[in-house]
A = this chain, B = another copy of it.
Amino acid sequence: ALLQAIANQFDYDLLNGKRIVITAGPTREAIDPVRFISNHSSGKMGYALAEAAADAGAEVILISGPVNLHAPAHVKRIMVESAQDMLDAALHTADNCDVFIGAAAVADYRPEFVSTNKLKKGKEESMEIRLIKNADIIATIAALPNKPFTIGFAAETNDVLNYAREKRLRKQLDMIIANDVSIAGIGFNSDENQVTLITSTDEISLPQTSKRQLARQLIEHIAPHLPTTR
Protein backbone atom coordinates (compact mmCIF):
# COMPACT_ATOMS: atom_id res chain seq x y z
CA ALA A 1 0.00 0.00 0.00
CA LEU A 2 2.86 2.36 0.83
CA LEU A 3 4.62 1.58 -2.46
CA GLN A 4 1.37 2.11 -4.30
CA ALA A 5 0.97 5.49 -2.59
CA ILE A 6 4.50 6.48 -3.63
CA ALA A 7 3.80 5.31 -7.17
CA ASN A 8 0.65 7.37 -7.26
CA GLN A 9 2.57 10.42 -6.09
CA PHE A 10 5.03 10.18 -9.00
CA ASP A 11 4.98 13.40 -11.00
CA TYR A 12 4.44 12.50 -14.63
CA ASP A 13 5.45 16.01 -15.73
CA LEU A 14 8.66 16.16 -13.70
CA LEU A 15 10.96 15.99 -16.72
CA ASN A 16 8.71 17.54 -19.36
CA GLY A 17 10.81 19.06 -22.12
CA LYS A 18 14.03 17.44 -20.88
CA ARG A 19 16.23 15.23 -23.03
CA ILE A 20 17.96 12.32 -21.29
CA VAL A 21 20.54 9.91 -22.65
CA ILE A 22 21.02 6.69 -20.66
CA THR A 23 23.53 3.92 -21.30
CA ALA A 24 22.70 0.41 -20.05
CA GLY A 25 23.90 -3.17 -20.04
CA PRO A 26 27.33 -4.63 -20.65
CA THR A 27 29.64 -4.12 -23.58
CA ARG A 28 31.28 -6.96 -25.47
CA GLU A 29 34.91 -6.66 -26.53
CA ALA A 30 35.77 -9.04 -29.37
CA ILE A 31 38.71 -11.43 -29.09
CA ASP A 32 37.91 -13.07 -32.45
CA PRO A 33 34.69 -13.60 -34.48
CA VAL A 34 33.16 -15.85 -31.81
CA ARG A 35 34.86 -15.00 -28.49
CA PHE A 36 34.56 -11.87 -26.40
CA ILE A 37 35.09 -10.37 -22.96
CA SER A 38 31.95 -9.14 -21.22
CA ASN A 39 30.39 -8.75 -17.78
CA HIS A 40 27.31 -9.75 -15.81
CA SER A 41 25.39 -6.48 -16.19
CA SER A 42 21.75 -7.30 -16.99
CA GLY A 43 20.83 -3.75 -18.04
CA LYS A 44 17.84 -3.79 -15.66
CA MET A 45 18.83 -0.64 -13.72
CA GLY A 46 19.48 1.42 -16.87
CA TYR A 47 16.25 0.19 -18.49
CA ALA A 48 14.31 0.99 -15.30
CA LEU A 49 15.79 4.52 -15.35
CA ALA A 50 14.83 4.93 -19.01
CA GLU A 51 11.28 3.84 -18.23
CA ALA A 52 11.03 6.16 -15.20
CA ALA A 53 12.44 9.11 -17.14
CA ALA A 54 9.96 8.52 -19.98
CA ASP A 55 7.14 8.21 -17.42
CA ALA A 56 8.26 11.60 -16.08
CA GLY A 57 7.79 13.13 -19.53
CA ALA A 58 11.41 13.23 -20.73
CA GLU A 59 12.57 12.47 -24.25
CA VAL A 60 14.73 9.39 -23.61
CA ILE A 61 17.49 7.87 -25.69
CA LEU A 62 18.67 4.49 -24.36
CA ILE A 63 22.06 3.31 -25.62
CA SER A 64 22.09 -0.40 -24.80
CA GLY A 65 24.68 -3.13 -24.90
CA PRO A 66 23.55 -6.73 -25.58
CA VAL A 67 20.80 -7.58 -23.07
CA ASN A 68 17.59 -9.57 -23.14
CA LEU A 69 15.19 -6.78 -22.32
CA HIS A 70 12.51 -5.07 -24.37
CA ALA A 71 12.83 -1.34 -25.00
CA PRO A 72 10.49 0.54 -22.61
CA ALA A 73 7.58 2.37 -24.22
CA HIS A 74 8.31 5.85 -25.62
CA VAL A 75 12.07 5.30 -25.41
CA LYS A 76 14.35 5.51 -28.44
CA ARG A 77 16.79 2.62 -28.16
CA ILE A 78 20.16 2.31 -29.91
CA MET A 79 21.75 -1.16 -29.64
CA VAL A 80 25.56 -1.37 -29.50
CA GLU A 81 28.18 -4.07 -28.86
CA SER A 82 31.56 -2.64 -27.91
CA ALA A 83 32.64 0.24 -25.68
CA GLN A 84 33.80 2.07 -28.80
CA ASP A 85 30.33 1.68 -30.37
CA MET A 86 28.78 2.97 -27.14
CA LEU A 87 31.10 5.97 -27.03
CA ASP A 88 30.26 6.84 -30.64
CA ALA A 89 26.53 6.66 -29.90
CA ALA A 90 26.97 8.67 -26.68
CA LEU A 91 28.90 11.47 -28.39
CA HIS A 92 26.37 11.49 -31.19
CA THR A 93 23.42 11.98 -28.82
CA ALA A 94 24.75 13.61 -25.63
CA ASP A 95 25.69 16.90 -27.22
CA ASN A 96 22.24 18.35 -26.96
CA CYS A 97 20.87 16.64 -23.84
CA ASP A 98 20.08 17.83 -20.31
CA VAL A 99 21.01 14.68 -18.42
CA PHE A 100 23.44 11.87 -19.22
CA ILE A 101 23.23 8.74 -17.06
CA GLY A 102 25.97 6.18 -17.54
CA ALA A 103 24.35 3.01 -16.18
CA ALA A 104 26.17 0.67 -18.56
CA ALA A 105 28.96 -1.56 -17.30
CA VAL A 106 31.46 -0.51 -19.94
CA ALA A 107 34.54 -2.69 -20.43
CA ASP A 108 37.61 -0.86 -19.16
CA TYR A 109 39.87 -2.78 -21.53
CA ARG A 110 39.56 -4.49 -24.90
CA PRO A 111 41.84 -6.99 -26.66
CA GLU A 112 44.55 -5.09 -28.51
CA PHE A 113 44.33 -7.37 -31.53
CA VAL A 114 41.05 -8.84 -32.82
CA SER A 115 41.60 -11.94 -34.91
CA THR A 116 39.48 -12.02 -38.06
CA ASN A 117 39.50 -15.85 -37.97
CA LYS A 118 38.45 -17.96 -35.02
CA LEU A 119 41.55 -18.69 -32.95
CA LYS A 120 42.28 -22.40 -32.80
CA LYS A 121 43.24 -24.08 -29.60
CA GLY A 122 46.94 -24.78 -29.92
CA LYS A 123 49.12 -27.18 -28.01
CA GLU A 124 50.08 -24.37 -25.65
CA GLU A 125 49.00 -24.97 -22.07
CA SER A 126 48.72 -21.22 -21.59
CA MET A 127 48.43 -18.03 -23.59
CA GLU A 128 48.14 -14.32 -22.96
CA ILE A 129 45.64 -11.78 -24.18
CA ARG A 130 47.01 -8.26 -24.32
CA LEU A 131 44.37 -5.69 -23.42
CA ILE A 132 44.40 -1.96 -24.02
CA LYS A 133 42.36 0.67 -22.25
CA ASN A 134 39.02 1.78 -23.67
CA ALA A 135 38.06 5.45 -23.71
CA ASP A 136 36.19 6.49 -20.56
CA ILE A 137 32.69 7.30 -21.85
CA ILE A 138 31.27 9.08 -18.80
CA ALA A 139 34.43 11.13 -18.25
CA THR A 140 34.39 12.08 -21.94
CA ILE A 141 30.79 13.29 -21.64
CA ALA A 142 31.52 15.14 -18.37
CA ALA A 143 34.38 16.97 -20.10
CA LEU A 144 32.23 18.25 -22.99
CA PRO A 145 32.11 22.07 -23.19
CA ASN A 146 28.30 21.93 -23.28
CA LYS A 147 28.20 19.32 -20.53
CA PRO A 148 24.86 17.77 -19.49
CA PHE A 149 24.09 16.98 -15.83
CA THR A 150 26.23 13.86 -15.74
CA ILE A 151 25.50 10.87 -13.53
CA GLY A 152 27.64 7.78 -13.15
CA PHE A 153 27.41 4.50 -11.30
CA ALA A 154 29.96 2.86 -9.04
CA ALA A 155 29.23 -0.86 -8.80
CA GLU A 156 31.88 -2.18 -6.46
CA THR A 157 32.58 -5.20 -4.31
CA ASN A 158 34.61 -3.52 -1.56
CA ASP A 159 35.11 -0.09 0.02
CA VAL A 160 32.15 1.06 -2.06
CA LEU A 161 31.47 4.59 -0.77
CA ASN A 162 35.10 5.72 -0.64
CA TYR A 163 35.65 4.49 -4.16
CA ALA A 164 32.45 6.15 -5.38
CA ARG A 165 33.41 9.54 -3.86
CA GLU A 166 36.83 9.38 -5.45
CA LYS A 167 35.38 8.30 -8.80
CA ARG A 168 32.86 11.16 -8.83
CA LEU A 169 35.59 13.75 -8.28
CA ARG A 170 38.10 12.18 -10.67
CA LYS A 171 35.57 11.99 -13.51
CA GLN A 172 33.95 15.36 -12.73
CA LEU A 173 30.49 13.82 -12.40
CA ASP A 174 27.60 15.83 -10.98
CA MET A 175 26.24 12.75 -9.24
CA ILE A 176 27.33 9.18 -8.66
CA ILE A 177 25.12 6.26 -7.66
CA ALA A 178 27.03 3.75 -5.55
CA ASN A 179 26.00 0.15 -5.02
CA ASP A 180 27.64 -2.89 -3.54
CA VAL A 181 27.50 -5.73 -6.06
CA SER A 182 29.00 -8.22 -3.60
CA ILE A 183 25.68 -8.42 -1.70
CA ALA A 184 23.38 -11.17 -2.97
CA GLY A 185 19.95 -10.04 -4.15
CA ILE A 186 20.91 -6.53 -5.22
CA GLY A 187 22.87 -5.11 -8.12
CA PHE A 188 23.96 -7.14 -11.14
CA ASN A 189 21.21 -9.30 -12.59
CA SER A 190 18.94 -8.75 -9.58
CA ASP A 191 15.49 -7.23 -9.68
CA GLU A 192 16.24 -5.13 -6.60
CA ASN A 193 18.91 -2.64 -5.73
CA GLN A 194 20.07 -0.54 -2.80
CA VAL A 195 22.15 2.51 -3.58
CA THR A 196 23.72 5.62 -2.14
CA LEU A 197 23.43 8.78 -4.18
CA ILE A 198 26.42 11.11 -3.90
CA THR A 199 26.69 14.71 -5.11
CA SER A 200 29.09 17.48 -4.15
CA THR A 201 26.79 18.42 -1.25
CA ASP A 202 24.78 15.32 -0.32
CA GLU A 203 24.99 11.61 0.37
CA ILE A 204 21.55 10.03 0.37
CA SER A 205 21.09 6.33 1.09
CA LEU A 206 18.02 4.85 -0.59
CA PRO A 207 16.67 1.65 1.00
CA GLN A 208 16.50 -1.66 -0.90
CA THR A 209 13.57 -1.81 -3.28
CA SER A 210 12.71 -2.90 -6.83
CA LYS A 211 14.84 -1.34 -9.57
CA ARG A 212 11.65 0.11 -11.04
CA GLN A 213 10.70 1.85 -7.79
CA LEU A 214 14.28 2.92 -7.17
CA ALA A 215 14.50 4.39 -10.67
CA ARG A 216 11.52 6.64 -9.95
CA GLN A 217 13.13 7.79 -6.69
CA LEU A 218 16.36 8.53 -8.53
CA ILE A 219 14.51 10.57 -11.16
CA GLU A 220 12.90 12.55 -8.32
CA HIS A 221 16.34 13.23 -6.82
CA ILE A 222 17.82 14.21 -10.19
CA ALA A 223 15.05 16.60 -11.30
CA PRO A 224 15.78 19.44 -8.78
CA HIS A 225 19.35 19.69 -10.14
CA LEU A 226 18.16 20.67 -13.61
CA PRO A 227 17.60 24.25 -14.76
CA THR A 228 13.91 24.96 -15.28
CA THR A 229 14.56 26.09 -18.85
CA ARG A 230 17.14 24.72 -21.25
Contacts and interface: CB of A to CB of B under 8 A. Distances in A.
Contacts of A112: 126
Contact of A34 (B105, B128, B130): B105
A129 to B, nearest CB: 5
A38 B37 CA distance: 6
Contact of A129 (B39, B128, B133, B163): B128
B121 A108 contact: yes
A42 to B, nearest CB: 11
A118 interface: yes
Chain A: interface size category: 35 or more
Contact of A131 (B128, B155, B157): B128
A188 interface: yes
A211 to B, nearest CB: 17
Nearest to A126: B132
A124 interface: yes
B128 A128 contact: yes
A35 interface: yes
Most chain B Cβ neighbours within 10 Å, of A34, A36, A121: A34
Interface of A: 31, 33-41, 68, 105, 107-109, 112, 117-118, 120-121, 124-133, 155-158, 163, 181-182, 188
Given A34-B40, A120-B163, 18 more contacts: A31-B37, A33-B157, A34-B181, A35-B37, A35-B40, A36-B39, A108-B121, A109-B127, A112-B126, A117-B158, A118-B156, A121-B133, A125-B133, A126-B130, A127-B130, A127-B131, A128-B128, A128-B129
Nearest to A133: B125
